[in-house]
Structure 1
Amino acid sequence: MQIVDVLALPACTAAEVVQGSSADLTRTVRLAHVIDVPDAHSWVRPGTLLLTTGLSWPRERAALTLFGQDLARRGPAAVVLAVPRFFSAFPPEVAAALAESGIPTLELPWEVPFVEVVQQTHEFILQAQADHLARSESIHRALTRAALGGQLSDVAGTLSEQLGRAVALLAPNGLPLTPSLAPDPALARLALARPGTAPRPLAGGMLVPVVLRGQREGGVWVAGAAAPEHDLEVRAAEHAATVAALLMLAQQDMEVLEARLGYAFVDTLLEGRFTADSSLHERARRLGFDTLGSYTVALLVLPGALPLLPEGFAQREQAAGQLRGALTSLGAAPLVSVSLNHIWFLLPQSLSAERVWARLGWQEAGTSEVPGMVYGRARPGVAGVAQGRAEVLALAAYAQPGQLRSYAEVLVPRALSGDRDAQADLMRGLLEPLRVARGGAALIATVQALCDTGFAQAEAAARLCIHGNTLRYRMDRIEALTGRPLADPATRSLWWLALQLGALETSPL
């Protein structure tokens, strides 16, 4: 309750504020008390609404000033003097001393019974406390129900709805985990880094750390809840932080279980079953998967026949453990899954397969007892993972123990063996950049002429009826568009093969 609320009570409608606009009417009233005994200041406690007739007050100006100063040090919420009787008006000496401490002084008509003011004040305070408890209980129940949904976004949404304020759940790095107004991540990260678990102000609001197993896993931020009068909002945020920690704990336990049962999350990505479900996105964040990043799908193929024997399962788990350790040491999330004699894993575009293979050290083993590794091309987004799996699955037959092979390395053998997908990829990689370029038909004709003449430039230029400089200009454009040097014998063979496949594709049956 504040002084402004006291002035709104029916018993105080005729009360007048002595200091006028300079009075602090937001001071908190904890109780109302009538004090008319000598040394009245000795009976006052902080937050007391002091009602008095002034019967025991001194009359001399100097004594009134000292009395006002003693009273101000006790920190009453306000002082109400009944007038006129013992004083015709509030003594200016006392009012001035109280005003220096921001304590309002009020004049109440003598005929208003103090008992009505006390009764109405305490009824207001008790009702406010009851309302406060009822609202706190309502928030508690709502957050508990939200926890049953199993999603952090439900907790943030429920708290925001209950408080009528913006609420954000933050990760340890300060980034928001839920789509809502949030403070600057850099400031949030600094606030979370402060020691302790107590609420701390942040960006005009209050941040409550989320602590799980002694570690900060983020925080709950409530906008505009930094002032002391917002105690309810702060306690609600603390309860939300506890609920969030419990949900995170359940998610971590579930993730451990999923890893034991088959690395379900990575399987969801590989099989194209990743959806917009917020719980999957929260799990992706926790596991270190960037839904907007580009990833390369890679595969370790263990030697040995199927079905796996007990020693085969042990070898697979050992290899999977080594792989997880290698990925972690290179700063990548260990996004791994196992199936039969296959160990699937995802590489962020920033980490090459060669670095992982070198870290594993199997190329130096020189034995048929270590896995072979194949990997595809980096593809963006969640859909790219499923596409990469299909691509790499076709490479599994080319995985040799102790060897690392890329999609590009086995493209030609696959194309020659009749793999239509490989043939299409080979033609796309070489011919498509020329087809879509300006003058693409002339560029393809140039490559054809070079292949037909054994890359003899003079003969190719004569066949095309162009000047040698024009031929060299076209060759430079072809190399720039495809990224392949025409002087490389391997590239010349690929061009010849791509043109042959293209001719077969366009020739009538």
Structure 2
Amino acid sequence: MPELPAAREIEGSGVRPASSGTLTYGVAVGEVLGVPALAGAQVVAGARGLDRVVQRLNVMEVPDILPWVKPHELLLTTGYPLRHTPQVLSQLVADLDERGLAALGIKLGRYIDELPPQMLATADQMGFPIILLPNDVGFDDILNQVLTDILNRQAAVLARSEEVHRALVQIVLAGGGLKEVADELVRLFGGAVLIVAADGEVLAQSGSPEDLAAARASRYVHPSGRVRLERLPLAGERQRPTPRGERAVVAVPIVAGGTDHGRIVAFSPDGVSEAPDVLTLERAATVAALVITKQLAVSAVESKYQTDFLHDLISGRTGGPERAITHSAWLGWDIARPLVVVVAELDPAPGDRHAAQVGELRVQERLAAAWTAAVRARDPKAAVVGFTQEVVALVGVPQRGGLDRLLREIVTQVAAETRVLRRSFSTGVSRVVGGPEGLPAAYEQARRAVAVGRQIHGPGALADFDSLGVYRLLSLIPDSDELRAFVRETLGELATRDDEETQDLRRTLRVLLETNLNVAETARRLHFHYNTLRYRIGKLERMLGPFTGDPHLRLNLTLALHVVAMRGL
């Protein structure tokens, strides 16, 4: 045999798809042993790793081989470089395994008589196959036969992949969507296929009821039905053995224009431990990206039309109730029924204002998506649109009552889904209107409820316009300085000081006014002794005037306390 270079690498036309970046194709070590040149080879250690993939072949003729090896190589050697230091063989196995090699083939007898037990133990522990090569077979025969097998298999895989790709593209050209893509993959592989969004939501699925049930019961799917993307074994990653009784699963990313749109997740059929062909799945991912991109483009146009039309609805510019009802029905909305207008608005972000604006559009989009999902789940004919600064929904009033409960359920769900954004939102609800002609006024009511609710209760408030009471009137005063001046003139020291004693006196005054000067009831609520409360009343009258006998002063004091309760003035 002619002398070979120190690290001569011979490889097939392995495909490295851009979507995974690390995926290689080749022949399993166990199958490589089936070529005629290796008919007499023996696996003396690491038999657990016979499913490792061989894509390349390399010949070791120098001791420092590590800088020259690559993943998925079958490394061949006569042991000549290690004839004086056979004790390093055990560490060599560990180093080769760490670099992702497939196996080590070695000839004994000429330079090394036997393999150290520690080397074999290390190989068994790591599942790294050690193959004793026949002495009468040259490396060139092994190289040629294995390389030919790899090339032939890769050619067959690529040909089949191209055929599958044409079939999938034809589905899209014929108007099919993600469901049809999933159906085609199931036809090819069997088992179950899930096409999921970047947040784990299942967009399409296919497979028999049994296969789908097994997929949903796997550790990769949350009980809510969302796929746990962080647990999925991506194509190209080094896989752990599939646990006994569990079907093999492989996931490929759906990427378009640098944007992650989700995953195609394929579960092998019942009783099959091998995962579906990854190259075909990646072809399908390319087609799925095309479908999703098309859907996003259509959705963007529809969203723009919905946004414009809802803006016209709440502005009263739709050309009459009948036209508004007809166009709304075409969009899937029912506005010919009792409705409330709901407005949700992000609360101001704390901290640096410029920093808070970074990603504001993304946060607003997530808020709109969460509101759309929560509302449509309870009222499929509701209109929900996200504007630049707010989300507006036209929600039908339940026939059997329970509007307050319905709205609180929606707000609770949206708050839970957007908690990761670390931004709260306030919500305002209008009065009930009977048709499209009342929507402009209802929209203004809901906006007013948002602003006043946040002033009274702080961020995250849910306020009904009818429950605002006197706050609604106070919020109509545009001059905040005038309101603050009124508070200072009416409450005096109770407005200008904010120590604990002053807060306690304000609380006492508020409860007194709420109970219509019922001293016994006020003492009970505040847990004061009757005489203690009488002393406090005297102190308050010395500070504020004889309010116990002056109804006009009591009115002024009540209004001033309401203004104090309004935040953001």
The alignment's TM-score, normalised by the length of structure 2, stands at 0.42
Computing the radius of gyration over CA atoms, which structure comes out larger, 1 or 2?
Answer: 1
The alignment's TM-score, normalised by the length of structure 1, stands at 0.47
